[in-house]
Structure 1
Amino acid sequence: MSERYDAIVVGSGPNGLAAAVTLARSGLSVALYERQASLGGASSTGELTLPGFHHDLGSAVHPLALESWFFREFGLERRVPLVVPEVSFAHPLDGGRAGLAYRDLNRAAEAIGRDGAAYARLMGPLVAHLRGIADFTGNALLRIPGDPLAAFLFAIRSLEQGGPWWNARFREEVAPALISGVSAHSILAQPSLPAGGAGLVLQTYAHGRGWPIPVGGSQAIADAMVADLRAHGGVVNTGVDITDLRQLPAARAVLLDITPRALVGLAGERMPAGYRRALERFRYGGGVAKIDFALSEPVPWADPDVALAGTVHVGGTRSEIAAAENAVVRGELPDAPYVLVSQPSLFDATRAPEGRHVLWAYTHVPAGNTADREAAVVAQIERFAPGFRDTVLATSSRTAVDIASWNPNFPGGDISAGAPSLLQLVGRPVYSPEPWRTPIPGVYLCSSSTSPGPGVHGLAGWQAALSALRHEFGTRLRPDLAPRPDQLATA
């Protein structure tokens, strides 16, 4: 490759695109390389089952999108039409009961019943410090928090919901189940400190700004970033598999939206031995098996109000979810798994033909597992939505190995790109106030394997780009990322 650029980005997931946009907005010449024919990575959408049914290949609902510092500056909600359901998530229980996490915390507490006041006392202070919580958890954790009170409130509550005393303030099943359903997103042992903290962050967003669903699918988020990159001179190359850093054109900065494991392979002898050993110690977590459904009608939940939610956590009581998740941590497949479900077509008519629906679902499995979990997932949904099987027109089922093959940033099906354990959230992938910067001159990591961790938020790419601007281009100025009038959403 004879071209020369100021900066090169490898990988077009949300973080890679955020890095590329930030650098291009700084007036630099930027080239993006993507191994797939399409762009977006975990934020992509396609037809998996039947013609006209549009399924999110990775993430479907985006709890971090509205409070991500990068997306706030990028003006995401001005560029992409977002639907924010009045119920962020629901949690069905046996007997036709369900917990409903309304965006309005007071309404959610009222719906919970006897434990509603206790739930409001748990979440109220966090919601009141929403911006502080978002900025604290969205930065490298070795930094001093901008809102120390928010950090303190978050830490105390994480200790509570991450320990064996997690039921101390509750008397019934609904509130604990609601909390565990969110904590289980982490694919970690239940209870545990990092799982409790991860759940509380997502719950804070649920009762703050809500969990948005992009109209047109998650691809709309990636498309908005690609459009901005191209509008500012960025060059986009697809279908190019970079396996060695020497393949790349000359550039002052190279930002890699890849895992530490992949960086070791790309860098070869250029990588210092100590840093190589640190990256080789980086641990990856449990995987997911994903099933997408084309449906003839909406899911017939036993409690119809569950359909008000953009996300549904299926798995029963807190103790049942803990048992299922702890089995996965032990390397086992639970008979009654935890299933994360979304039916975006209830909120976005573009996802399926008129009168039809799509359903997105995944369940946790040990990393590298080859089991097809479609039957187990259908059985769990049927448990809380009798007659569900009769609505299924077609399915697309992918194992953890399939997920890893589709996206190498998910080794073994690990969609977190590295276990979000406490140590690996503080040092992700290494202990440093700038964990994105590698000891290889001009080379930066910007994937979810770096701080602040998993999720569609663009923060790792944005922070890596700002680090590169400081060290390679000598500027501490943050570029203006706001949309131009012609980039605003029209629907």
Structure 2
Amino acid sequence: MRQVDVAIVGTGPNGLAAGVTLARSGLNVVLHDAAEHFGGGLRTMPLFDSDIVHDICSAVHPLAKVSRFFREFDLAARGVELLRPEIGYAHPLDGGRAGLAYHDLDVTCDRLGPDGKLWRRLMEPLVAHSVGVVDLALHGGRSLPDDWAAPFLLGGRTLAHGTALARRRFATEEAAALLTGVAAHAIGKLPSLVSGVIALLLGHLAHGTGWPVPKHGSARIAEAMAADITAHGGTFDLGRTITDLRELAGAKVVLLDTGVKGLLEIAGDRLPRRYANRLARFRYGPAAAKVDFLVSEPIPWSNPELGKAGTVHLGGSRAEMYRTESLTVRGVAVEEPFVLLVDPAAVDGTRARAGKRPVWAYAHVPNNDDRDPVDLVRARIERHAPGFGDTVLAQRGVSARQLEAYNPNYVGGDISSGAVTLAQSVLRPTARFDPYRTPLPGVYLCSAATPPGPGVHGMSGYLAALSVLRREFGIRTPPRLAPGRNTDGQGSHAARRPRSVPRR
């Protein structure tokens, strides 16, 4: 039996990204998961009808085309089609009005009327420097930027749109709501510096690489990553819960794609008290409550253009979103929460059959909220799509509390694996020079609880894996991630195995 070089607990996008990186470096990698199937937040399966599949967690992936990990991994070359909608994101308002972020920036600016020039000044430079902006945002603040324009572009714009100054921006409610809806992806207080960065990072991508929907569902991304791991000698141990690090004693190194709570539970009393106490102070943020619908026809939007959008934000005006998101942070259960909605079949025709198609939605709710979100979400949709309820064939609500039962990393339903505050965006999960390395020899954390935080970008797993390669195996050159066997002599499973070095 081969020696296990690295055991990875958890097979979400970060655990898989770490597995790809380490297996391609010639290490013997085993990935463990309590679920019967790998993928974590990248799972797609039937819920109501065997013909129709639903994305169980994430559905739209703006970062799966642009993060450094996925740029090099190249999903398209592996047969994963990321379908870019004509309208990346949209925000309906009362009276049939809507803010619409078309892929075509010119069309977007024309449709925004008096705010078109401001939208262009905001987005056009970000699109021109998109790779630099993305890399700056997704490297956790631990490397110098390759594109020095990026920090200057992000800095000034964040102050303008992530502080009280944002209230003075935009003359029309359409433009104000359009950007604020993206900022609400921070799932936190609005406005804030963190929400400003998120609005700029995700917002500009609609006019570049887009907000794509994977053809046939999000699981295709996980399947491509798992296939690459097995092609390079990695294996999976599914359907078994790891409750103690001692169960992985045969591995030289352990990576945990778990939240902070999971690290504390698995490591038990082995962690130094000072470090454990700091982790115990880690804060969790507001939660998501999930609703899946099976419907008989496309959503009957009052504004038909919304039917071309990959993602629709249902939050009302900027002032309404500022109010409801800030109340939700404080634990107040509002009756009209912010809702993200995706009609996958509007972009991917393979997701629909005659008279049947899926609709995906999340509502932002207080942490550990136990309300069934179905009625809340339906009311939000019907405000802008009267008659939607008449199209519903089946529905399922998953409360924030139930979401944690599905995935223990979502503590209280917090799908960000920790509050996305300014401090916890940089010092995540706590202040350490190498945030992935724990005080325990050979034990690392690689989940969204580490920089750069939540999102399907693979960067937490990738950066943790690079730390493991450097510190534990003396490998300083990252492996090639593009499809095919590595041929540089450094990362192929068939090439010489890297030397092991004593852990320190």
Q: TM-score, normalised by structure 2?
A: 0.94
Query: Take 2:351 and 2:247, find their aligned partners in 1: how far apart are those partners?
Result: 39
- Tell me the SS of whatever aligns to 2:114: coil
Query: Take 2:50 and 2:394, find their aligned partners in 1: how far apart are those partners?
Result: 11
Query: Take 1:418 and 1:433, find their aligned partners in 2: how far apart are those partners?
Result: 19
Q: Partner letter of residue 36 of structure 1?
A: A
1:27 matched residue in structure 2: 26
1:488 matched residue in structure 2: none
Q: Partner letter of residue 357 of structure 2?
A: H
Contact 1:140 1:434 survives alignment (8 Å): no
Contact 1:15 1:459 survives alignment (8 Å): yes
Query: Take 1:71 and 1:320, find their aligned partners in 2: how far apart are those partners?
Result: 36
- Tell me the SS of whatever aligns to 1:151: helix
Contact 2:447 2:460 survives alignment (8 Å): yes
Of stretches 346-355 and 132-141 in structure 1, the one that deviates more from structure 2 is: 346-355
Query: Take 2:402 and 2:77, find their aligned partners in 1: how far apart are those partners?
Result: 35
Query: Take 2:233 and 2:364, find their aligned partners in 1: how far apart are those partners?
Result: 41
1:324 matched residue in structure 2: 324
2:412 matched residue in structure 1: 412
Query: Take 1:363 and 1:3, find their aligned partners in 2: how far apart are those partners?
Result: 46
Of stretches 159-168 and 138-147 in structure 1, the one that deviates more from structure 2 is: 138-147
1:489 matched residue in structure 2: none
Contact 2:85 2:308 survives alignment (8 Å): yes
Of stretches 417-426 and 197-206 in structure 1, the one that deviates more from structure 2 is: 197-206
Query: Take 1:325 and 1:49, find their aligned partners in 2: how far apart are those partners?
Result: 31
2:497 matched residue in structure 1: none
- Tell me the SS of whatever aligns to 1:88: strand
1:303 matched residue in structure 2: 303
How far is 1:145 from its partner?
2.5
Query: Take 1:433 and 1:218, find their aligned partners in 2: how far apart are those partners?
Result: 34
2:46 matched residue in structure 1: 47
Query: Take 2:240 and 2:472, find their aligned partners in 1: how far apart are those partners?
Result: 25
- Tell me the SS of whatever aligns to 1:393: strand
- Tell me the SS of whatever aligns to 1:207: coil
- Tell me the SS of whatever aligns to 1:208: coil
Contact 2:159 2:165 survives alignment (8 Å): no
Contact 2:169 2:176 survives alignment (8 Å): no
1:95 matched residue in structure 2: 95
Contact 2:288 2:414 survives alignment (8 Å): yes
Contact 1:89 1:312 survives alignment (8 Å): yes
Structure 1 unmatched runs, 5+: 486-491
How far is 1:433 from its partner?
4.1
How far is 1:186 from its partner?
1.1
Query: Take 1:103 and 1:419, find their aligned partners in 2: how far apart are those partners?
Result: 31
Deviations 1:366-400 (A, max 9, x none): 11110112111111100101111111000011000
Query: Take 1:431 and 1:142, find their aligned partners in 2: how far apart are those partners?
Result: 13
How far is 1:252 from its partner?
1.9
Q: Partner letter of residue 205 of structure 2?
A: Y
Deviations 1:169-203 (A, max 9, x none): 31110111001111111111111111111111110
1:65 matched residue in structure 2: 64
Identity of aligned residues (%): 50
2:393 matched residue in structure 1: 393
Structure 2 unmatched runs, 5+: 486-504
1:89-488 alignment, distance < 5 Å: 89-484=89-484
Deviations 1:79-137 (A, max 9, x none): 21111112100111111111110122222111111111111112222222101111001
Query: Take 1:328 and 1:4, find their aligned partners in 2: how far apart are those partners?
Result: 48
Query: Take 2:65 and 2:218, find their aligned partners in 1: how far apart are those partners?
Result: 14
How far is 1:143 from its partner?
3.2
How far is 1:162 from its partner?
1.3
Query: Take 2:471 and 2:142, find their aligned partners in 1: how far apart are those partners?
Result: 19
Contact 1:140 1:433 survives alignment (8 Å): no
Contact 1:314 1:380 survives alignment (8 Å): yes
Contact 2:308 2:347 survives alignment (8 Å): no
How far is 1:351 from its partner?
2.1
How far is 1:467 from its partner?
0.5
1:7-18 alignment, distance < 5 Å: 7-18=6-17
Q: Partner letter of residue 255 of structure 2?
A: L
- Tell me the SS of whatever aligns to 1:43: coil
Query: Take 1:394 and 1:407, find their aligned partners in 2: how far apart are those partners?
Result: 23
Contact 1:101 1:108 survives alignment (8 Å): yes
Q: TM-score, normalised by structure 1?
A: 0.96
Q: CA RMSD in A?
A: 1.4
How far is 1:475 from its partner?
0.8
**Equivalent residues, number:** 484
Contact 1:4 1:249 survives alignment (8 Å): no
- Tell me the SS of whatever aligns to 2:4: strand
Contact 1:295 1:359 survives alignment (8 Å): yes
Q: Partner letter of residue 131 of structure 1?
A: V
How far is 1:3 from its partner?
7.0
How far is 1:352 from its partner?
3.2
Q: Partner letter of residue 160 of structure 2?
A: E
2:35 matched residue in structure 1: 36
Contact 2:161 2:169 survives alignment (8 Å): no
- Tell me the SS of whatever aligns to 1:313: strand
Query: Take 2:139 and 2:433, find their aligned partners in 1: how far apart are those partners?
Result: 10
